Amino acid sequence: MKKKISIILSLVLTATFLIACSGANYAPALAENEWMDADFAVAAPAAPMPDAPALEIMEEAAYDVWDDSGPVDNAQRTGGGAGISTTTAPETDGFSEKIIYSINADIETTNFDETIAGVHELMATYNAFIENSRVSGIHYESKFYGWNTFRSAYFSLRVPKERLDAMTSSLDNLGNVTHINSNATNITSQFFDTQSRLNSLTIQEDRLLDMLSKAEDVPDLILIEERLSDVRYQVESLTTTLSNWQNQVDYSTLTLNIREVEQFSERVEIHRSYWQQIGDGFMSTIRGVGNFFMNLFKWIIISAPVIIILAVIGVTALIIVKWKLRSIAKKKETNTDK
């Protein structure tokens, strides 16, 4: 009886030892992947099925792991394997709102040069910079003939978001602000969805780099490097997207359309009486007629040399025609007398 008990105990201890050994081999892998989504599928490779270690490597590399614990600290990432360096993801300031602000303003000015200088002064005051600009001047022909042409300018400025309101309030110093509108685009959800995707890819990249450093067979190295190349391309693309978004959030866009005028647009009163409206229309017509005759007189004076030459040619042609007609008439009279 004692022998049977000792045999049974030996068998139990042996089985327990074997189970413990096998559990020790698989426990780390389960602990490492216990937070992964069990619904992810693995696409079968087109190449012939590799051996068991290579298959395990490709299955783990094929998962797009999503990290629900938030942004991953860049300092925790490690590099290695075949001299491939890791890509650093842009840091975010927690889960703050990501809003892109833009303002567009139309400005009239009677002193164009002073207004342009004022724009540069505002830029220096509020740490803004020019993203795009265009200035159109007066042509020599316009100046020579005295035509009423005016200059214009376009500025697309990038302003720190915390100074946008202050700079917008200072636009009255540049001239007469005739129109202004603002826009705000909230990209918070898109930003952090992209950030989560990037975090998942960086985790996957680290695992692939670790696998690459441990792989020994050439087929395994090729399979891992192909997957790693695809992951790194996605990491770089998402990193660029996040950087561009963050730049637009940090620096708002202020667009200025500046136009040189002879006089500022009048601020029309909302409540005008019937006779006041008639008086305004009559005075507007008088000014229009006066401007027409002034421009006509100016055009006549400027074009006088051409008008004189044309007049001489016209008079000469008229004299020649009359002389020809008289000659023809005399011939007819002579023939009739005969």
pTM for this predicted structure: 0.54
Give the bridge partners for 181, in sequence order.
104
Q: Which of 202, 183, 204 lies closest to 194 in space, CA to CA? A: 202
Q: State mean pLDDT over 110-132.
A: 94
Structure confidence at residue 276 (pLDDT): 81
Q: What is the DSSP letter of 91?
A: P
User: Is it the case that residue 16 has pLDDT exceeding 80?
Assistant: no
Look at residues 199, 245, 169 and name the one whose alpha carbon lies nearest to residue 68.
199
Answer yes or no: is pLDDT of 99 > 90.
yes
Q: Share the mean pLDDT of the chain.
A: 74
Higher-confidence residue of 168 and 29: namely 168
Q: What is the pLDDT of residue 148?
A: 64
Q: In the predicted model, what is the mean pLDDT of residues 303-310?
A: 89
Task: Give backbone dihedrals phi and psi of 79, rounded to 5 degrees, phi first.
Answer: -110, 180
Q: What is the CA radius of gyration of the chain?
A: 42
Q: How confident is the model at residue 22 (pLDDT cuts 50, 70, 90)?
A: very low
What pLDDT does 144 receive?
A: 60
- Res 215: pLDDT: 82
Of 217, 201, 169, 276, nearest to 57 (Cα)? 217
- The residues facing 135 across adjacent strands are 153
pLDDT in the model for residue 297: 85
Residue with the larger pLDDT of the pair 276 and 170: 170
DSSP-derived 3-state class of residue 87: coil
- Tens digits of residue pLDDT in 232-249: 999 999 999 999 999 999
